[in-house]
Structure 1
Amino acid sequence: MATNCRCNMIAGLFQCTNKLFLSDQATGLQIMEFARRNAANALSVANMVMGIASILGSLDGRHHAACWSILIGYLLDLADGAVARRLGTCSALGAKLDDFADFTTFGIATSLLLRTPDLLDHILCMCYILSVFVRLCFFSSGIPFMYCGLPCTYSAGVLASASLLSGNNTAMLRVLAVAMILFMINQSFYPHDRVLESEAWKKVVYAGGVVMLFCSFFLPPCVYYLLWSISYILFPTSLWSSKV
């Protein structure tokens, strides 16, 4: 009798342990699946956080930090779409998050790089934000793998890197901002570059951008991002069309 009770207790403990193990395993799988489904969304949120950090940096007079926050957002924005497609997790929520992040980082935060006490600069900031808004509204060109209007990621890259290189030269930034506004609203066609899903040299360019983050207190990284952005603006089809 005692032996049977002991066997039943051992069997019960084994069943409980097995259930706990299976439960933990199922929980682990659920966590992994949640992480997989939201990896791209996390990158978009991180991009938005960089935009907010840049806004706060501009308001506090930390110009260097504000510009580099935008350039970090630049890299995050180029990665989130690739991650979503790679994991098969593209969704309407992800698209909205991406637009909100882009508007925050490449619209509001970037416009604040142009801000001075001058009324005309305030108007220029508003025009820049509105042009980014228009650009995001007309994102779809109706042609596969093409954008309509210059992506605001690259216009922000030009302004942030040029601002760092020039020591926030107001006159030069005004000229560049007007040029970027015209590129964004003229509705010309630009290729969907898909840097992380295309030729190997594009991935090397992206990896170089990541490496440059560790040299952010020197001028060469700023030149790197400036040339990268300008190359897309000037040679969009010959250099940056998607060839997977």
Structure 2
Amino acid sequence: MFIKSIPSVLTLGNLVIGMVAILISSQGRFNEAALLVVIGMLLDGLDGRAARLLHAESEFGKQLDSLSDLVTFGVAPAAMMYNVILSHLGIAGDALAIWFPMCGALRLARFNVQTKSSSFFVGLPITAAGGILATMALTRPVLHPSIVILPVGMFVLSILMVSNVRYPNFKKVAFPKSAVVLVPLFVVTIFCAIKFHFIRANWIIFGVLAVYAIYGMLRGMRYRHVRHRRSNSTSQDADIDREMETSSTYREI
């Protein structure tokens, strides 16, 4: 019975991580808060795989996962951004801090009512959006003017979550079972690397997630362009067919 509960325990761990990230971000510990959000991303991917591996998938687990995601990847990154910069923008900053998790909630609700699984996500997943926002908050010292770039980036991420842009679903990618053992080791390695300043892991994570977000936008633009060309080609073919029918009618007369 306990084994079947492992996915839910991982999901609750994700929720706890999100709450801790909110609390420590209010103390100005943004590096640790961003790291917790990243660890939450790993747990979010791990609980679903554990549920499928243990045949413990359920509607309860799905709803619990969404509620945890809203806290860890919606509220926690928004709180980080608010403490970093939005608090200086008055009512506009307050509205943007509310806007991001609200779009995240809409994104999760839409995902939960989808009846069939697919190889792509419709809209930027809140996990990726929250990871980008949390690590983006750490780029303030090198972005000028950050008071403009960061809020605009946050607004764009919010829009992408509720958009119809399609993103690859990496949850459909098969990983070896040994990956379950390697994930904790990877988490500890990343934590030590950031803690002792061996690498700027936040930049690496931000870059990877930002490429994912941009890829979806470019793919969506290309898809609309191709569809527009095809519709124009179809309409032109229809015009040619009509002209041929008209000319043949004249010949018969």
Quick check: 1:105 aligned with 2:72? yes
TM-score (norm 2): 0.71
Contact 2:15 2:68 in 1 (8 A): yes
Quick check: 1:126 aligned with 2:98? yes
Residue of structure 2 equivalent to 1:45: 12
Structure 1 Cα separation of the partners of residues 41 and 14 of structure 2: 8
Q: Runs of 5+ in structure 1 lacking a partner?
A: 1-32, 238-244
- How many angstroms does 1:148 deviate by? 1.7
Structure 2 Cα separation of the partners of residues 61 and 50 of structure 1: 16
- How many angstroms does 1:159 deviate by? 1.3
Q: Runs of 5+ in structure 2 lacking a partner?
A: 218-253
TM-score (norm 1): 0.73
Contact 1:79 1:196 in 2 (8 A): no
- How many angstroms does 1:179 deviate by? 1.5
Deviations along 1:121-141, one digit per CA (max 9) or x if unpaired, are 110011111110111011138
AA partner of residue 87 (structure 1): L
Listed as ranges, the matches of 1:28-177 within 5 Å are: 33-34=1-2, 36-115=3-82, 116-117=87-88, 118-139=90-111, 140=114, 142=116, 144-167=118-141, 169-177=146-154
Most deviating of 114-123 and 45-54: 114-123
Structure 1 Cα separation of the partners of residues 34 and 201 of structure 2: 12
Q: Alpha carbons of 1:97 and 1:79: their partners in 2 closer, same or farther (altered >3 Å)?
A: same
Quick check: 1:223 aligned with 2:203? yes
Residue of structure 1 equivalent to 2:192: 214
- The RMSD of aligned alpha carbons is 3.0
Contact 1:111 1:125 in 2 (8 A): yes
Aligned residues: 203
Give 1 or 2 for the bigger CA radius of gyration: 1
Structure 2 Cα separation of the partners of residues 125 and 225 of structure 1: 22
Residue of structure 2 equivalent to 1:192: 169
AA partner of residue 215 (structure 1): A
